[in-house]
Structure 1
Amino acid sequence: MRSNTIRTHRAVTTLAALLAGALALSACSGGDGKKDSGGGSTGSGSGVSLPKLNGVNLEVAAVWTGTEQANFKKVLAEFEKRTGAKVTFVPAQDPIINFLGSKIAGGQPPDVAMLPQPGAIKQAVDKKWAKPLGPDALKELSKNYSQGWQDIGKVDGKQYGVYYKAANKSLIWYNAKAFENAGAKEPKTWKELLTTAQAVYDSGVTPFSVGGADGWTLTDWFENVYLSQAGPEKYDQLAQHKIKWTDPSVKQALTTLAQVWGKKDYVAGGADGALQTEFPASVTQTFTGGDQPKAAMVYEGDFAQVNIGDTKAKVGTDAKVFPFPAVGSAAPVVSGGDAAVILKDSKGAQALATFLASPDAATIQAKLGGYLSPNKSVPVSAYPNPVQQKIAKALIASGDDFRFDMSDQAPQAFGGTPGKGEWKDLQDFLKNPKDVAGAQTKLEKDAAAAYGNGG
Structure 2
Amino acid sequence: MRTPLRTSKVAITFAVVAALALAGCGDDGDDESSDADGKKGSGTASTVELPQLKGETVQVAAVWSGAEQENFDKVLTEFEKRTGAEVTFVPAQDPIVNFLGTKIAGGSPPDVALLPQPGAIAQAVAQKWAKPVGPEAKAQLAKNYSPGWQQIGQVNGEQYGVYYKAANKSLVWYNTAAFDAAGAKEPKTWKEFLATAETVSASGVTPVSVAGADGWTLTDWFENVYLSQAGPEKYDQLAKHEIKWTDPSVTQALTTLAELFGKPALIAGGADGALQTEFPASVTQTFTGGDQPKAAMVFEGDFVGVNIAQTKAELGTDAKVFPFPAVGAQAPVVTGGDAAVALKDSKGAQALLTFLASPDAAKIQAAAGGFVSPNKALDVAAYPNDVMRNIAKALIAAGDTVRFDMSDQMPQAFGGTPGKGLWKTLQDFLKNPKDVAGTQAKLEADAARAYAG
Alignment TM class, shorter chain as reference: over 0.9
Report the residue type matching 1:318 in the other structure.
D
Q: Secondary structure at the match of 2:15?
A: helix
Taking the aligned partners of 1:52 and 1:401, their CA distance within structure 2 comes to: 43
- How far off its partner does 1:41 sit? 6.6
2:41 corresponding residue in structure 1: none
- 1:219-368 correspondence to structure 2 within 5 Å: 219-368=219-368
Taking the aligned partners of 2:374 and 2:117, their CA distance within structure 1 comes to: 15
Taking the aligned partners of 1:402 and 1:78, their CA distance within structure 2 comes to: 33
1:106 corresponding residue in structure 2: 106
Taking the aligned partners of 1:42 and 1:188, their CA distance within structure 2 comes to: 44
* Gap regions ≥5 residues in structure 2: 39-45
Question: Which has the larger displacement, 388-397 or 283-292?
Answer: 388-397
Change (3 A) 1:399 1:83: farther
- Choose from 9, 21, 24 the match for 1:31: 24
- Choose from 18, 24, 38 the match for 1:20: 18
2:391 corresponding residue in structure 1: 391
1:142 corresponding residue in structure 2: 142
- How far off its partner does 1:368 sit? 0.6
- How far off its partner does 1:2 sit? 1.6
Change (3 A) 1:64 1:438: same
- How far off its partner does 1:402 sit? 2.4
Q: Secondary structure at the match of 1:414?
A: helix
Q: CA RMSD in A?
A: 1.5
Contact 1:4–1:154, Cα closer than 8 Å, also in 2: no
Report the residue type matching 1:3 in the other structure.
T
Taking the aligned partners of 1:163 and 1:131, their CA distance within structure 2 comes to: 15
Change (3 A) 1:150 1:379: same
Q: Deviations over 1:139-172 (max 9, x none)?
A: 1001100111111100011000000000000000
- Choose from 3, 6, 25 the match for 1:2: 6
- How far off its partner does 1:300 sit? 0.1
- How far off its partner does 1:346 sit? 1.1
1:434 corresponding residue in structure 2: 434
Taking the aligned partners of 1:7 and 1:182, their CA distance within structure 2 comes to: 40
Contact 1:148–1:400, Cα closer than 8 Å, also in 2: no
Taking the aligned partners of 1:185 and 1:131, their CA distance within structure 2 comes to: 50
Q: Secondary structure at the match of 2:50?
A: coil
Taking the aligned partners of 2:389 and 2:9, their CA distance within structure 1 comes to: 26
2:444 corresponding residue in structure 1: 444
Contact 1:133–1:160, Cα closer than 8 Å, also in 2: yes
Q: Secondary structure at the match of 1:166?
A: strand
Taking the aligned partners of 2:313 and 2:214, their CA distance within structure 1 comes to: 23
**TM norm structure 2:** 0.95
Q: Secondary structure at the match of 2:88?
A: strand
1:55 corresponding residue in structure 2: 55
- How far off its partner does 1:31 sit? 1.4
Q: Deviations over 1:103-158 (max 9, x none)?
A: 01110000000000001000000000000001111110011001111111000110
Change (3 A) 1:370 1:3: same
2:189 corresponding residue in structure 1: 189
Taking the aligned partners of 1:368 and 1:193, their CA distance within structure 2 comes to: 31
Q: Secondary structure at the match of 2:90?
A: strand
Contact 1:200–1:207, Cα closer than 8 Å, also in 2: yes
Contact 2:125–2:155, Cα closer than 8 Å, also in 1: yes
Question: Which has the larger displacement, 398-407 or 346-355?
Answer: 398-407
Contact 2:216–2:416, Cα closer than 8 Å, also in 1: yes
Taking the aligned partners of 1:137 and 1:399, their CA distance within structure 2 comes to: 26
Report the residue type matching 1:128 in the other structure.
K
- How far off its partner does 1:399 sit? 6.2
Taking the aligned partners of 1:307 and 1:7, their CA distance within structure 2 comes to: 29
Q: Secondary structure at the match of 1:340?
A: strand
Contact 2:11–2:404, Cα closer than 8 Å, also in 1: no
Taking the aligned partners of 1:20 and 1:312, their CA distance within structure 2 comes to: 27
* Gap regions ≥5 residues in structure 1: none
Contact 1:32–1:317, Cα closer than 8 Å, also in 2: no
Contact 1:147–1:400, Cα closer than 8 Å, also in 2: no
Contact 1:359–1:375, Cα closer than 8 Å, also in 2: yes
Contact 2:58–2:111, Cα closer than 8 Å, also in 1: yes
Taking the aligned partners of 1:435 and 1:231, their CA distance within structure 2 comes to: 24
Change (3 A) 1:201 1:344: same
2:86 corresponding residue in structure 1: 86
2:209 corresponding residue in structure 1: 209
Taking the aligned partners of 2:402 and 2:74, their CA distance within structure 1 comes to: 30
Contact 2:261–2:267, Cα closer than 8 Å, also in 1: yes
Taking the aligned partners of 2:361 and 2:311, their CA distance within structure 1 comes to: 27
Contact 2:11–2:402, Cα closer than 8 Å, also in 1: no
- How far off its partner does 1:400 sit? 7.1
Q: Secondary structure at the match of 2:51?
A: coil
Taking the aligned partners of 1:145 and 1:411, their CA distance within structure 2 comes to: 26
Report the residue type matching 1:263 in the other structure.
K
Q: Secondary structure at the match of 2:197?
A: helix
2:68 corresponding residue in structure 1: 68
Report the residue type matching 2:392 in the other structure.
A
Q: Secondary structure at the match of 1:20?
A: coil
How many residues are treated as equivalent by the alignment? 440
Report the residue type matching 2:260 in the other structure.
V
